[in-house]
Amino acid sequence: MHKDKASLADVLDSMRLAVAYVGSMTVEEFEQSVEKIDSVSRRLEIIGEATKRLSMSFRDAHPDVQWRTMAGMRDRLIHGYDAIRVDQIYDAVTKVIPPLIPKIEAILQTLPDPE
């Protein structure tokens, strides 16, 4: 369970950072900032990798979170880097991730601290 808590904390940290990196930028502003695109993409990669590190039993216990989609985004960023649309990255961070943050926070609070 400790591994799941640590991985979930990594997911949450990267979600918060990705949202903060975009802030109130418009999609047009985001598309013009290579640094923002790179930093947000890195956070999405971490979210996906940390998601893959969660145990299957943990993911199965929380079916309301789209774990597979989160891991899939990481795979697309890593393996299909040349076909990624920046507007999709922007949408993930401005539309998909914000409502997930309170869900992840709530799940994290239910996990026991390591002994």
Active-site residues, by number, are 74, 79
Q: Reduced to 3 states, what is the DSSP secondary structure of residue 112?
A: coil
Distance CA(74)–CA(102), nearest Å, equals: 21
Write down how long the chain is.
115
